[in-house]
């Protein structure tokens, strides 16, 4: 079998399943000692953290739905496939430990594309100390699909859910919103203007000259899950409820309030919108606030804090390492959910939905 990085033009259909699995295994670093049986057996075997609960999540990225190969590199796709799952674990106050990767590959996929997909995933896994424990490979008659399962760990009484909020709790959000949507729309515009068909590893579209707008593009292509902050919110028991912004702030506010049996009121003047996202939406004639609130793929954290736990936020701010944390509103006894703008309460925009 060829070593990783060689025979770059060969397709997975020519290499065969067993050779492809061995190719992947050869690229995975030495396993965490807690992984007793790893890649190559019928299933992985791991030692759970003593006295901790396990947190399990899974999410699939489908070509044409979650990524576009005209402007997402294979490494981007691999990174994102892991990041979206880590974000879910973080929103539960947990720390990600192990990952399983299932690849559904079109027959024309090349070995170098698989190498680069894995490289993007493993780079993030190494930084977050996550072990790739196994997975599956199968042929796809249609689009490329990556399905990742992440297993995390959290101590009892430190787990966060969407349902823990109460009326009167303040709502906070990490980072800045709207960046990923602005980056995605900029990329789509470039594709239309260039008229270039791009395959994985093909044409690399230029990045914006404006550094802040380039940050928006990077935020879409390679989202940074707030894994550390999620674990801090759980460990310090600062948050009463939490959810990540996979499908947009509007969707997260609605779901968190619904699960907590409350309403919610968000103040448009407080929203930490990315400045280049605001400028981009204004340039194309969109309502910048509505676009940022509805846009998905930010993977920030929305969390509620009860009045009696507000003092704990000082410690969270100190440990945030420069990530902004902004109060944006509150949960209410009135079950209505809305956005206050210019003294008026208006309905929240609809977030991303699959169906």
Question: Does residue 7 fall inside a structural domain?
Answer: no
As a dihedral over the C-alpha atoms of residue 68, residue 74, residue 76, residue 79, rounded to 10 degrees, the angle is 120
Domain that holds residue 106: 14-154
80 with 67: CB under 8 angstroms?
yes
Question: Does residue 1 fall inside a structural domain?
Answer: no
Question: Does residue 127 fall inside a structural domain?
Answer: yes
Specify whether 319 is located in the same domain as 180.
Answer: yes
Specify whether 196 is located in the same domain as 223.
Answer: yes
As a dihedral over the C-alpha atoms of residue 11, residue 15, residue 21, residue 27, rounded to 10 degrees, the angle is -70
Specify whether 179 is located in the same domain as 114.
Answer: no
Specify whether 187 is located in the same domain as 140.
Answer: no
Specify whether 203 is located in the same domain as 336.
Answer: yes
What pLDDT is recorded for position 238? Answer: 97
Domain endpoint, select from 123, 154, 185: 154
What pLDDT is recorded for position 208? Answer: 85
Specify whether 201 is located in the same domain as 315.
Answer: yes
Give me Rg for the CA atoms of the chain.
21
Question: Does residue 212 fall inside a structural domain?
Answer: yes
Specify whether 342 is located in the same domain as 201.
Answer: yes
What pLDDT is recorded for position 225? Answer: 97
Specify whether 168 is located in the same domain as 102.
Answer: no
Specify whether 148 is located in the same domain as 219.
Answer: no
Task: Find the distance separating the first CA and the last CA of the chain, reported in whole Å.
Answer: 43
What pLDDT is recorded for position 204? Answer: 57
Domain endpoint, select from 119, 154, 189: 154
Question: Does residue 64 fall inside a structural domain?
Answer: yes
Q: What is the pLDDT of residues 42-71, one digit of tens each?
A: 999 999 999 999 999 999 999 999 999 888
Question: Does residue 330 fall inside a structural domain?
Answer: yes
Question: Does residue 18 fall inside a structural domain?
Answer: yes
Q: Which residue ranges in the chain fall short of pLDDT 70?
A: 1-9, 194-206, 351-355
What beta strand segments (E) does the chain contain? Answer: 35-37, 45-46, 53-62, 95-105, 131-139, 145-154, 170-174, 241-244, 263-267, 301-305, 325-332, 337-341, 344-347
What pTM was computed for the model?
0.92
Specify whether 256 is located in the same domain as 312.
Answer: yes
Specify whether 316 is located in the same domain as 169.
Answer: yes
Q: Residue 295: give its domain's CATH number.
A: 3.90.650.10
The tokens for 305 are: 């804090």
Question: Does residue 352 fall inside a structural domain?
Answer: no
Domains in the chain: how many in total? Answer: 2
Specify whether 102 is located in the same domain as 198.
Answer: no
SS (H, E, C) 47-116: CCCCCCEEEEEEEEEEECCCECCCCCCHHHHHHHHHHHHHHHHHHCCCEEEEEEEEEEECCCCEHHHHHH
Domain endpoint, select from 104, 134, 154: 154
Q: Residue 81: give its domain's CATH number.
A: 3.30.1330.10
């Amino acid at each position: 079998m060829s070593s990783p990085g060689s025979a770059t033009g060969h397709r997975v259909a020519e290499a065969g399943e067993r050779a492809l699995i061995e190719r992947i295994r050869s690229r995975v670093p030495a396993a965490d000692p807690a992984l007793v049986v790893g890649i190559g057996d019928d299933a992985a075997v791991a030692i759970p953290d003593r006295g901790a609960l396990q947190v399990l999540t899974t999410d699939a990225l489908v070509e044409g739905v979650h990524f576009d190969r005209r402007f997402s590199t294979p490494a981007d796709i691999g990174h994102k496939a892991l990041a979206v799952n880590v974000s879910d674990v973080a929103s539960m106050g947990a720390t990600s430990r192990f990952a399983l990767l299932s690849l559904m590959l079109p027959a024309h996929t090349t070995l170098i594309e698989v190498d680069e997909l894995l490289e993007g995933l493993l780079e993030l896994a190494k930084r977050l100390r996550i072990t790739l424990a196994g997975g599956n490979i199968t042929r796809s008659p249609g689009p490329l699909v990556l399905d990742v399962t992440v297993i995390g760990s959290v101590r009892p009484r430190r787990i966060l859910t969407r349902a823990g909020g109460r009326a009167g709790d303040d709502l906070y959000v990490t980072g800045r919103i709207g960046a990923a949507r602005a980056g995605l729309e900029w990329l789509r515009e470039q594709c239309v203007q260039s008229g270039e068909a791009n395959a994985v590893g093909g044409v690399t579209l230029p990045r914006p000259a404006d550094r802040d707008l380039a940050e928006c593009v990077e935020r879409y292509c390679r989202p940074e899950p707030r894994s550390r902050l999620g674990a801090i919110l759980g460990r310090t028991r600062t948050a009463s409820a939490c959810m990540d912004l996979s499908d947009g702030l509007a969707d997260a506010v609605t779901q968190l309030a619904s699960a907590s049996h409350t309403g919610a009121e968000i103040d448009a003047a407080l929203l930490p919108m990315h400045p280049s996202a605001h400028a981009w939406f204004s340039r194309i004639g969109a309502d910048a606030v509505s676009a940022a609130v509805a846009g998905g793929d930010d993977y920030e954290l929305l969390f509620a804090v009860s009045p009696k736990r507000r003092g704990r936020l000082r410690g969270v701010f100190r440990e945030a390492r420069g990530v902004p944390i902004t109060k944006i509103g509150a949960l209410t006894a009135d079950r209505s959910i809305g956005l206050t703008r210019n003294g008026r309460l208006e309905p929240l925009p609809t977030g991303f939905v699959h169906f």
